[in-house]
Structure 1
Amino acid sequence: MPENRKIAEEVIEAVGGRENIQSIAHCATRLRIMVNDKEKIKQEKIEHIDKVKGAFFNSGQYQIIFGTGTVNKIYEEISRLGMNTMSASEQKKEAVKSGSRFQRVVRTFGDVFVPIIPVLVATGLFMGLRGLVMQEQILALFGMKPEDIPQNFILFTQVLTDTAFIFLPALVAWSTFRVFGGTPIIGLVLGLMLVSPALPNAWDVAGGDVKPLHFLGFIPVVGYQGSVLPAFIAGILGAKLERAIRKRVPEALDLIMTPFLTLLVMITFSLLVIGPIFHIVEQGILKVATNVLAWPFGISGFLIGGLNQLIVITGVHHIFNMLEIQLLAQYHNNPYNAIVTCAVAAQGGAALAVGLKTRSAKLKALALPSSFSSFLGITEPAIFGVNLRYGKPFIMALIGGGAGGFLASVFGLKATGMAVTVIPGTLLYLNGQIPLYILVNLVAIVVAFVLTWLFGYSDRVKKEIEQ
């Protein structure tokens, strides 16, 4: 399409021309460009290109938001123009070399845990659906009572809801080996060894029904069902050990000796050293997090709901994935999601106010779809395309997120899963919490909308900013 070809050409020119571009990739909503000199990027020109919903520099990449569907078409046109394109994963490996040490550590957390999230999302939805089906009011519609539910059906739901968390160390070790350059299947087997049926079940030990094994009379050895940190540390060290062994073993013996030695050393070290130490560390982190989330008077909800999207724009929010996974594995609920969803909804409320108030057709066409995107759980178009761009709407959205988060904390809302928010997030609150979930989201949206409408945006301010 000629229009998209023109946009592609304008993008290339605005980021400093062909000679300034190392590579171009894309994700679901954004064009990701690695440049030689970010000083050559013409930010204002980029923002005025048709269909662009915002642009920012993060994680070693210049990211231009086009939205789902549109970004694929622009990427195709850029490819036809002969630019150096690569997959998002390939480009991410290059981008990892840039940024501070802290940013690289956070990015590593994201690379390890993000691939696991879809499975945990599905598990959370299964939990929500089971909670819905088990409600007495729902069963009454079919002339049933809770005691009428067949035992085989309950076992089937347990397979759906428990499997991912029972074998969570296997998922974590697999992903960690993959990220740190090991062989993923060795990581998977190492993780499975950590939850072997031959070991005392961690949940049975915690419940007092089973006693742990003791090596050398004082080292407790148990399975690590639902555990994250021991598998993560074992995955890092295991991947490094595998690579070290592979360098030293003759090629003819590599197929046999490398996995044999890696698994032998790592399962011994994991059960006797890594597991006992980092399980205590993991429990400590979880205790601190749950204590913070339990602060009285909705304080934690107000602070987390108000600050969450501020953390998102720094790109370090993926570090909280591990916390959510731990909450779900240990308690089978996630109060953090209930608070964060309000922060996401509020960004949509602020963008909606801008879209309805402005007389600019271009800004209206940007703000209204961006607000709907936020209501589906994706805030980047609203944040970078509208709210942060004009400043005050973003601040009003933070206040709205704090207000909604405050109520979520006061009401004690707890999701059955993670990673989906606002409208899709309703599926995580099917166990009798939907009315309150809708209420806290509406409060976040309304507060952000009203504050933005009254104090956060005017076309006069828009003209001053864009001059």
Structure 2
Amino acid sequence: MASNEEIAKQVIEAIGGEENVQSIAHCATRLRVMVHDREQVNVDAVEEIDKVKGAFYNSGQYQIIFGTGTVNRIYEAINNLGVTSTSKSEMKEEAKKQGTTFQRAIRTFGDVFVPIIPVLVATGLFMGLRGLITQEQILVLFGLTPDSISENFLLFTEVLTDTAFVFLPALVAWSTFKVFGGTPVIGLVLGLMLVSPSLPNAWVVAEGAAEPLYFLGFIPVIGYQGSVLPAFFAGLIGAKVEKFFRKRVPESLDLILTPFLVLLIMIILSLFALGPILHLVENWIFDGTIALLELPLGLSGLIIGFFHQIIVITGVHHIFNFLEIQLLENLNYNPFNPIITASIAAQGGAALAVGVKSKQKKMKALAYPSALSAFLGITEPAIFGVNLRHGKPFIMGLVAGGIAGFLATIVNLKATGMAITVIPGTLLYLNEQLFLYILVNLVAIGIAFGLTYFFGYKEDK
């Protein structure tokens, strides 16, 4: 197999050489390349390169799928060749006229959440581990009962499971400032102000144990623990306000005056306008999500399980991160995760069937790792490299995802966290749900494999 350095050279050659590269960035699984002339790109040559699991053009970018971890090394190798790269925020500026307004907005939303997701994953794992070790069946193995668990231990677990959500606005504002070209630490402090202990706690207010502060007799002011939209828009507007002052404040006063003005203006705007309005919007979105998830007869699982991977193709699936955060914040569990897990596992099952049935070494070498990637929660290699390329395997995966999603809803599966699925997602079900979670995944993989093997894939001679 070629080295990363050789692969980097082959990629640059296949996309028309260094002179055709406008900018290069990467996300979790894909190398994202913007070129000057699309006609010079040899997509077939790109797909023949070692470790490439698929390539396609979307929203002004050639997206080359390498998979988690691998893409970072290829990107580094390309940088070592001296090829001009760019940050994701710079690429966003270059691509701002590409795609629809909705697609651009969701891409930006995704850029903000990608750096935050790892800590939310860790929080979900802590929740799962707490659920495991506090189960009566587990405690009995050590001669303990639920009453044996000390208050101090429970307090310690709350530090692990609650901190990221309590200070979520600080994380969101920090990342938003960074994406939109502001100073991240100003965003961090602005986000912390939104959850200041001087303000009535949002969760305590929701429980009815505290009242909002009312300014001018009608503006309700509370803390925004666990909220996303107020912090997101505070960061977006705050970064633009900062840029405005950076251009106009004298350099000798910039260090002191600019942060002062940005924080003063933005906390007033956030607490008295953005916060109250966007908090209502968040509640409406949450209510709509719950209405969908509570459709009778398992319809929600059938619909979401079928359509989820279609949405992944469009690249706007990052909006689901916000929905899952809302569910965890308000319900303390996540019924959305097992449904999308079913859809992801199904695409892996379809890709596995292609690998088993195919007699081509190249296809087997592509299908097996792509299936494994899906079983680890990343479906882009399976979708773009295998299933969508042949058409029917993708459709069979959708059908299986819908059926398994229906099952997940019927048995009432609930994750303790978010952002990890299939095999890693097992850690979010370390309680009495573990057997049912495994069953849903096996059903998704089994149906997708069977449908694809017998009806969905016929190899070209």
Structure 1 position 183, deviation (Å): 1.6
User: What's 2:264 paired with?
Assistant: 264
Structure 1 position 21, deviation (Å): 2.6
Instruction: Quickly say closer, same or farther: Cα 1:264–1:49, change in 2 above 3 A.
Output: closer
Instruction: Quickly say closer, same or farther: Cα 1:192–1:6, change in 2 above 3 A.
Output: closer
Q: Residue 89 of structure 2 contacts residue 181 of structure 2 at CA under 8 Å; is this kept in 1? A: no
Structure 1 position 74, deviation (Å): 5.2
User: What's 1:183 paired with?
Assistant: 183
User: What's 2:64 paired with?
Assistant: 64
Give per-residue Cα distances to partners, 1:414-451, cap 9 Å, x unaligned: 11111111000001111321111111111111111010
Give the Cα–Cα distance (whole angstroms) in 2 for the partners of residues 377 and 158 of structure 1: 27
User: What's 2:456 paired with?
Assistant: 456
TM-score, length basis structure 1: 0.92
Give the Cα–Cα distance (whole angstroms) in 2 for the partners of residues 245 and 81 of structure 1: 38
Give the Cα–Cα distance (whole angstroms) in 2 for the partners of residues 250 and 95 of structure 1: 32
User: What's 1:333 paired with?
Assistant: 333
User: What's 1:129 paired with?
Assistant: 129
Q: Residue 29 of structure 2 contacts residue 71 of structure 2 at CA under 8 Å; is this kept in 1? A: yes
User: What's 1:254 paired with?
Assistant: 254
The one-letter amino acid paired with 1:354 is: V
User: What's 2:205 paired with?
Assistant: 205
User: What's 1:165 paired with?
Assistant: 165
Query: More deviation in 72-81 or 246-255?
Result: 72-81
User: What's 1:322 paired with?
Assistant: 322
Query: More deviation in 39-48 or 437-446?
Result: 39-48
Q: Residue 190 of structure 2 contacts residue 266 of structure 2 at CA under 8 Å; is this kept in 1? A: yes
User: What's 1:234 paired with?
Assistant: 234
Give the Cα–Cα distance (whole angstroms) in 1 for the partners of residues 70 and 310 of structure 2: 27
Query: More deviation in 11-20 or 428-437?
Result: 11-20
Structure 1 position 32, deviation (Å): 3.2
Give the Cα–Cα distance (whole angstroms) in 2 for the partners of residues 187 and 144 of structure 1: 46
Give the Cα–Cα distance (whole angstroms) in 2 for the partners of residues 31 and 233 of structure 1: 28
Three-state SS of the structure 1 residue aligned to 2:116 is: helix
- Which 5+ residue runs of structure 1 have no aligned equivalent? none
Three-state SS of the structure 1 residue aligned to 2:139 is: helix
Instruction: Quickly say closer, same or farther: Cα 1:189–1:27, change in 2 above 3 A.
Output: closer
Alignment of 1:45-84 (within 5 A): 45-67=45-67, 71=71, 78=78, 83-84=83-84
Q: Residue 2 of structure 2 contacts residue 50 of structure 2 at CA under 8 Å; is this kept in 1? A: no
User: What's 2:313 paired with?
Assistant: 313
TM-score, length basis structure 2: 0.94
Give the Cα–Cα distance (whole angstroms) in 2 for the partners of residues 189 and 72 of structure 1: 30
Give the Cα–Cα distance (whole angstroms) in 1 for the partners of residues 430 and 242 of structure 2: 45
User: What's 1:368 paired with?
Assistant: 368
The one-letter amino acid paired with 1:342 is: A
Report whether the alignment pairs 1:155 with 2:155.
Answer: yes
Give the Cα–Cα distance (whole angstroms) in 2 for the partners of residues 191 and 84 of structure 1: 34
Give per-residue Cα distances to partners, 1:312-353, cap 9 Å, x unaligned: 111111122111111112222111111101111001100110
Q: Identity over aligned residues, as a percent?
A: 69
Three-state SS of the structure 1 residue aligned to 2:64 is: strand
User: What's 2:397 paired with?
Assistant: 397
User: What's 1:302 paired with?
Assistant: 302
Give the Cα–Cα distance (whole angstroms) in 2 for the partners of residues 167 and 148 of structure 1: 31
Query: More deviation in 435-444 or 92-101?
Result: 92-101
Give the Cα–Cα distance (whole angstroms) in 2 for the partners of residues 266 and 402 of structure 1: 44
Structure 1 position 132, deviation (Å): 0.6
Structure 1 position 88, deviation (Å): 6.0
User: What's 1:355 paired with?
Assistant: 355
Instruction: Quickly say closer, same or farther: Cα 1:436–1:271, change in 2 above 3 A.
Output: same
Instruction: Quickly say closer, same or farther: Cα 1:195–1:28, change in 2 above 3 A.
Output: closer
Give the Cα–Cα distance (whole angstroms) in 2 for the partners of residues 376 and 328 of structure 1: 22
Q: Residue 25 of structure 1 contacts residue 85 of structure 1 at CA under 8 Å; is this kept in 2? A: yes
Give the Cα–Cα distance (whole angstroms) in 2 for the partners of residues 6 and 260 of structure 1: 50
User: What's 1:120 paired with?
Assistant: 120
Instruction: Quickly say closer, same or farther: Cα 1:78–1:123, change in 2 above 3 A.
Output: closer
Give the Cα–Cα distance (whole angstroms) in 2 for the partners of residues 262 and 3 of structure 1: 48
Query: More deviation in 406-415 or 14-23?
Result: 14-23
The one-letter amino acid paired with 1:331 is: L
Q: CA RMSD in A?
A: 2.2
Instruction: Quickly say closer, same or farther: Cα 1:270–1:18, change in 2 above 3 A.
Output: closer
Give the Cα–Cα distance (whole angstroms) in 2 for the partners of residues 257 and 456 of structure 1: 64
Give the Cα–Cα distance (whole angstroms) in 2 for the partners of residues 13 and 255 of structure 1: 45
Q: Residue 392 of structure 1 contacts residue 452 of structure 1 at CA under 8 Å; is this kept in 2? A: yes
Query: More deviation in 232-241 or 82-91?
Result: 82-91
Give per-residue Cα distances to partners, 1:172-218, cap 9 Å, x unaligned: 11111222222211111111111111111111111111122211222
Q: Residue 89 of structure 2 contacts residue 179 of structure 2 at CA under 8 Å; is this kept in 1? A: no
Instruction: Quickly say closer, same or farther: Cα 1:350–1:331, change in 2 above 3 A.
Output: same
User: What's 2:424 paired with?
Assistant: 424
User: What's 1:380 paired with?
Assistant: 380
Query: More deviation in 200-209 or 90-99?
Result: 90-99
Give the Cα–Cα distance (whole angstroms) in 2 for the partners of residues 335 and 174 of structure 1: 28
Q: Residue 324 of structure 2 contacts residue 418 of structure 2 at CA under 8 Å; is this kept in 1? A: yes
User: What's 1:146 paired with?
Assistant: 146
Structure 1 position 291, deviation (Å): 0.9
Query: More deviation in 344-353 or 46-55?
Result: 46-55
Aligned residues between the structures: 461
Q: Residue 426 of structure 1 contacts residue 437 of structure 1 at CA under 8 Å; is this kept in 2? A: yes
